[in-house]
């Protein structure tokens, strides 16, 4: 327990951690502020104004149509006739349908519809911070020689590394829970002020809570992967540089190669799709080169649906592989 | 007396892409309780490797080790609380203060918080304890390292080259500190390549060369068994030294010629010198025994004495014990 509290203290004392938490807080605040200022509540005044504007635009285009038609009629038989459709046919008269008031409504924040995207945003940002902070937490310790000092104190390698990882993951779990609660509350208020939360049933709340839970899992896995990679490489740069570099190159490279080779469902090999499948519960990849003909709907492309249990399996596998590998090398490699 | 530290037949071979390097080749070492023990060896002889292995940082390829009577590395977790150690100028996380660094270690090891203040005072860092370690000089970092090793009030203190980067005042303070610690009952193992240092404060020494022990025992014993008495000989002014030197050499003496005198390195019986010379009517005006020092023993045993016109490379040192120099003329 003493080791655990020391590690938690070390983590929160680091300027790196503080800096990144401050950064993510500012970004989140900016997102919330942006949503607040770009949305408006749809009250009777907004509806009336939208209707008035739709009506006005309808009238204006109707007048324009009538003017054009008159001009066309007048031009018949003169040299200008070629500027108009022959016989003035095919000129379409605008209808009131073409100017619906709802298209003139200012953007409004509907909680049920818009909040899930915000949950994904939060989870993605926190996962990134967890990855970087996790990598630097153990990486700096390795490269500064602090790990060796610690091992002189507690010559139990697995325990030292495991406790460090536990401290990191517990910290980020607590952080994510707090941030998610505040984030939900904040957007609930934004919905009250700049939109609506009327459609929120208890089922909808439950699905948001589950989504936030999946976000938490994503944050934990990201933290553990950053930590594990940096510990394997015994340097922060190992996790940050190599991973980010490799992922980008590999993903771009792989994406290009797969699509050149016309591999079916090439996107399924790319990381972001799996992230989306995890957060949004499923993602459907379609192969537009294929055609399942049906008489009812014509050509329907082949599709592959990735579901959240599949994505969860991938996340769990990555987590286990990297943590086990880092523990194993911790146990067997010399510390020099 | 009981042995606080025992090492027998320790083997360590480093393997890397560049090949294998045998750093320890059947190394033995014993340290008795309550002593200040010097662990001497030239650069690259395996001192740090020995200490790392002992402290569980690297895995040996063979041999046995025990600390405070317990086999290590198996029992290391149990004895770790009684061993304070620094290995090869330890580094600390630069952005933390000395105070934070030590208090985190204290936390991790379950040591009382008051110890932090006490050890900072002891190593003379009290007034700089709130500065970030990044801003410390080499000597100050070294002091911090010693402080961290002392934090647990260890029974056995292991310091790898603690004098690195210290100023003369610092070295002397460190010396006093070690002596005081030893008097309070702590056993101190001190690795160094600075010999004057060791001779001044150590009760006993182990000398390592190329991964093997070449000498061990109390400083006096090592000096006695590994040096033969050498004497300084001066002749009457105006007498040509060359004759005398040839004569002695012909009788098997190891003679080194100096500016106005010469020394005989293996003079087990100085009376021989006067007798041989007097027979040829060469009379000695001065015959002074020269006190042996650890440095010459070290240089001889490890084969690292400088040779004129050669640049010795780090890995060139004697692998086997040098033959005991026989007392000439006995
Ligand atoms: N991590 C390592 N990998 C390979 N060789 C090493 C490593 N550490 C030390 N050595 C080699 O082992 C030998 C002993 O080194 P060391 O124990 O550090 O010597 P000392 O501390 O006595 O100066 C040296 O030849 C050194 O080059
Ligand atoms: Mg060394």
Distance from CA of A154 to the nearest CA of B (A): 7
pLDDT, position B228: 62
Q: Is the pLDDT of residue B319 over 70?
A: no
What whole-number distance in Å separates Cα of residue A137 and Cα of residue A8? 11
Which two three-digit tokens encode residue A247? 């992922």
pLDDT, position B308: 62
- Same-domain pairing of A37 and A48: no
Does the beta carbon of B156 lie inside 6 Å of ligand 1?
A: no
Grade residue B325 by pLDDT with cuts at 50, 70 and 90.
Answer: very low
pLDDT, position B12: 94
pLDDT, position B322: 42
For residue range A52-103, list pLDDT tens digits in order. 888 898 899 889 888 888 888 888 777 777 777 777 777 778 888 888 877 8
Contact list in A for residue B54 (CB cut-off 8 A) is: none
- Same-domain pairing of A249 and A210: yes
- Same-domain pairing of A34 and A145: yes
Beta carbons of A155 and B108 less than 8 Å apart: no
Grade residue A121 by pLDDT with cuts at 50, 70 and 90.
Answer: very high
pLDDT, position B305: 65
Residues A111 and A200 sit within 8 Å (Cβ to Cβ): yes
What average pLDDT score do residues B190-207 get?
84
Dihedral Cα B239, B244, B246, B251, nearest 10 deg: 180
What whole-number distance in Å separates Cα of residue B198 and Cα of residue B39? 8
pLDDT, position A188: 94
Query: Please, what is the average pLDDT of chain B?
Result: 84
For residue range A184-211, list pLDDT tens digits in order. 999 999 999 888 888 889 999 999 999 9
CA–centroid distance, B123 to ligand 2, in Å, is 22
- Same-domain pairing of A96 and A130: no
3-state class of B182 per DSSP?
helix
Q: What Cα–Cα distance (Å) separates residue B239 from each residue in A36, B232, B267, B285? A: 108, 16, 22, 11
Out of A74, A104, A134, pick the residue that ends a domain. A104
Q: Which long-range contacts (CB under 8 A, 24 or more apart) does B128-136 make?
A: B128/B98, B129/B97, B129/B98, B129/B99, B130/B97, B130/B98, B130/B99, B131/B97, B131/B98, B132/B94, B132/B95, B132/B96, B132/B97, B133/B92, B133/B93, B133/B94, B133/B95, B133/B96, B133/B97, B133/B98, B133/B101, B134/B94, B134/B95, B136/B98
pLDDT, position A164: 96
For residue B73, give the chain A residue with the closest CA: A155
What average pLDDT score do residues A305-318 get?
92
Q: Considering chain B, what percentage of its residues have pLDDT values greater than 90? A: 33
Out of A86, A104, A122, pick the residue that ends a domain. A104
What whole-number distance in Å separates Cα of residue B292 and Cα of residue B226? 9
Distance from CA of A322 to the nearest CA of B (A): 23
pLDDT, position B323: 42
Grade residue B9 by pLDDT with cuts at 50, 70 and 90.
Answer: very high
Q: Considering chain A, what percentage of its residues have pLDDT values greater than 70? A: 99
- List CB contacts of B222: < 8 A, sequence separation 6 or more: B205, B207, B215, B216, B294, B297
Grade residue B166 by pLDDT with cuts at 50, 70 and 90.
Answer: confident
Residues A161 and A326 sit within 8 Å (Cβ to Cβ): yes
- Same-domain pairing of A93 and A233: no
- Same-domain pairing of A227 and A285: yes
Out of A58, A77, A104, pick the residue that ends a domain. A104
pLDDT, position B292: 66
Which two three-digit tokens encode residue A253? 């490279």
Residues B49 and B7 sit within 8 Å (Cβ to Cβ): no
Query: Please, what is the average pLDDT of chain A?
Result: 87
Alpha helices by DSSP H, listed for B110-257, are 114-122, 138-150, 168-183, 195-201, 219-226, 241-250
- Same-domain pairing of A19 and A53: no
- Same-domain pairing of A57 and A139: no
Count CB atoms within 10 A of the CB of residue A94.
16
For residue range A150-186, list pLDDT tens digits in order. 898 888 999 999 999 999 999 999 999 999 999 999 9
What whole-number distance in Å separates Cα of residue A230 and Cα of residue A82? 73
B153 conformational bin, left if phi > 0, alpha if psi -120 to 50, beta if neither: left
Grade residue B291 by pLDDT with cuts at 50, 70 and 90.
Answer: low
What whole-number distance in Å separates Cα of residue A293 and Cα of residue B28? 83
Residue closest to A134 by CA, chosen among A218, A214, A225, A213 = A225
- Same-domain pairing of A254 and A313: yes
Query: How far separated are the first and last CA of chain A, in Å rounded?
Result: 27
What average pLDDT score do residues B208-230 get?
81
For residue range A103-114, list pLDDT tens digits in order. 888 788 888 888
pLDDT, position A1: 58
Residue closest to A163 by CA, chosen among A325, A3, A327 = A3
Ligand 1 mutation target, pool B7, B14, B18, B163, most atoms within 8 A of CB: B14
CA–centroid distance, B161 to ligand 2, in Å, is 7
- Same-domain pairing of A70 and A182: no
Query: How far separated are the first and last CA of chain B, in Å rounded?
Result: 36
Report the residue from B80, B96, B152 with minimal CB separation from A155: B80
Q: Tell me the backbone φ, ψ of residue A36, rounded to 5 degrees.
A: -65, -45
Q: Is the pLDDT of residue B329 over 50?
A: no
DSSP state of B27: E
Domain total in chain A: 2
Residues B285 and B235 sit within 8 Å (Cβ to Cβ): yes
Complex ipTM: 0.76
- Same-domain pairing of A55 and A197: no
3-state class of B175 per DSSP?
helix
The boundaries of the domain holding residue A64 are: 44-104
- Same-domain pairing of A7 and A86: no
Residue closest to A41 by CA, chosen among A93, A90, A119, A108 = A108
For residue range B266-281, list pLDDT tens digits in order. 777 788 888 888 888 8
What average pLDDT score do residues A5-18 get?
93
Alpha helices by DSSP H, listed for B235-270, are 241-250
More confident: A244 or B244: B244
Beta carbons of A15 and B108 less than 8 Å apart: no
Beta carbons of B59 and A334 less than 8 Å apart: yes
Residues B94 and B133 sit within 8 Å (Cβ to Cβ): yes
What whole-number distance in Å separates Cα of residue B170 and Cα of residue A81? 105
Q: Considering chain A, what percentage of its residues have pLDDT values greater than 90? A: 44
Q: Is the pLDDT of residue B13 over 90?
A: yes
Q: Please, what's the largest Cα pairwise distance for chain A?
A: 102
Q: How many A×B Cβ pairs under 8 Å?
A: 75
Give the HSE-up count for residue A52: Cα atoms under 13 Å, Cβ half-sphere.
6
Q: Is the pLDDT of residue B330 over 50?
A: no
Contact list in B for residue A14 (CB cut-off 8 A) is: 95
Grade residue A36 by pLDDT with cuts at 50, 70 and 90.
Answer: very high
B316 conformational bin, left if phi > 0, alpha if psi -120 to 50, beta if neither: beta
CB neighbour class for A206 (10 Å; exposed up to 12, middle 13-18, buried from 19): exposed
Q: What is the pTM of this model?
A: 0.81
Give the HSE-up count for residue A34: Cα atoms under 13 Å, Cβ half-sphere.
7
More confident: B207 or A217: A217
> What structural domains does chain B harbor?
3-224 (3.40.50.300), 230-291 (3.30.70.980)
Residues B188 and B166 sit within 8 Å (Cβ to Cβ): no
Pairing assessment for the beta strands A195-196 and A109-110 based on DSSP bridges: parallel
């Amino acid at each position: 327990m003493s080791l655990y509290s020391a590690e938690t203290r070390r983590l929160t004392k680091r300027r790196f951690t503080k800096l990144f938490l401050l950064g993510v807080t500012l970004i989140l605040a900016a997102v919330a502020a942006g949503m607040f200022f770009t949305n408006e509540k749809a009250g009777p005044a907004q509806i009336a104004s939208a209707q008035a504007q739709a009506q006005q635009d309808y009238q204006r285009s109707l007048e324009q149509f009538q003017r054009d038609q008159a001009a066309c009629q007048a031009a018949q038989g003169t040299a200008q006739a070629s500027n108009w459709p022959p016989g003035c046919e095919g000129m379409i008269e605008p209808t009131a349908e073409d100017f619906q008031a709802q298209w003139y409504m200012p953007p409004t924040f509907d909680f049920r519809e818009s909040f899930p995207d915000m949950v994904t945003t939060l989870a993605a940002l926190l996962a990134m911070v967890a990855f970087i902070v996790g990598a630097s937490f153990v990486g700096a310790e390795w490269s500064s020689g602090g790990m060796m000092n610690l091992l002189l104190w507690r010559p139990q390698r697995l325990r030292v590394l495991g406790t460090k990882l536990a401290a990191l993951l517990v910290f980020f779990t607590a952080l994510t829970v707090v941030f998610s609660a505040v984030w939900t509350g904040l957007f609930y208020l934004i919905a009250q002020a700049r939109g609506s939360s009327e459609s929120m049933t208890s089922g909808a709340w439950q699905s948001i809570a589950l989504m936030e839970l999946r976000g938490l899992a994503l944050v934990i896995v990201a933290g553990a992967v950053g930590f594990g990679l940096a510990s394997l490489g015994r340097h922060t740069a190992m996790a940050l540089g190599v991973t980010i570099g490799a992922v980008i190159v590999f993903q771009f490279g792989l994406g290009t190669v797969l699509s050149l080779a016309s591999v079916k469902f090439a996107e399924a090999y790319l990381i972001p799709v799996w992230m989306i499948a995890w957060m949004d519960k499923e993602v459907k990849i379609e192969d537009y080169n294929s055609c399942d003909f049906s008489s009812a709907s014509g050509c329907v492309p082949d599709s592959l649906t990735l579901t959240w249990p599949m994505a969860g399996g991938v996340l769990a596998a990555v987590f286990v592989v990297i943590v086990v590998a880092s523990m194993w090398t911790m146990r067997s490699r010399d510390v020099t | 007396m009981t042995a606080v530290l025992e090492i027998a037949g320790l083997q360590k071979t480093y393997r890397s892409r560049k090949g294998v390097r045998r750093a320890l080749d059947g190394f033995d070492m014993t340290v008795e309780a309550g002593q200040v023990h010097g662990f001497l060896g030239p650069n690259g002889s395996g001192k740090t490797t020995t200490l790392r292995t002992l402290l569980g940082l690297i895995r040996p390829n063979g041999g046995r080790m025990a600390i405070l009577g317990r086999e290590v590395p198996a029992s290391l977790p149990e004895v770790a609380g009684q061993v304070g150690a620094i290995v090869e100028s330890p580094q600390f996380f630069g952005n933390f203060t000395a105070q934070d660094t030590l208090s985190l270690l204290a936390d991790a090891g379950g040591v009382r918080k008051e110890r932090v203040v006490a050890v900072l005072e002891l190593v003379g860092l009290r007034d700089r304890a709130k500065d970030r370690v990044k801003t410390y000089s080499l000597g100050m970092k070294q002091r911090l390292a010693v402080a961290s090793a002392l934090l647990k009030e260890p029974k056995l203190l292991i310091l790898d080259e603690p004098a690195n980067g210290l100023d003369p005042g610092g070295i002397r303070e460190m010396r006093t500190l070690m002596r005081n610690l030893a008097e309070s009952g702590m056993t101190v193992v001190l690795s160094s390549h600075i010999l004057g240092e060791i001779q001044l404060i150590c009760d006993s020494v182990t000398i390592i060369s190329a991964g093997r022990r070449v000498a061990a025992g109390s400083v006096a014993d090592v000096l006695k068994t590994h040096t033969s008495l050498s004497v300084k000989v001066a002749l009457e002014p105006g007498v040509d030294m060359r004759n005398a030197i040839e004569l002695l050499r012909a009788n098997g003496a190891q003679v080194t010629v100096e500016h106005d005198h010469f020394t005989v390195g293996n003079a087990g019986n100085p009376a021989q010198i006067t007798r041989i010379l007097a027979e040829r009517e060469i009379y000695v005006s001065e015959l002074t025994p020269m006190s042996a020092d650890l440095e010459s023993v070290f240089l001889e045993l490890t084969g690292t004495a400088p040779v004129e016109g050669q640049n010795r490379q780090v890995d060139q040192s004697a692998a086997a014990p040098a033959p005991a120099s026989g007392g000439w003329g006995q």
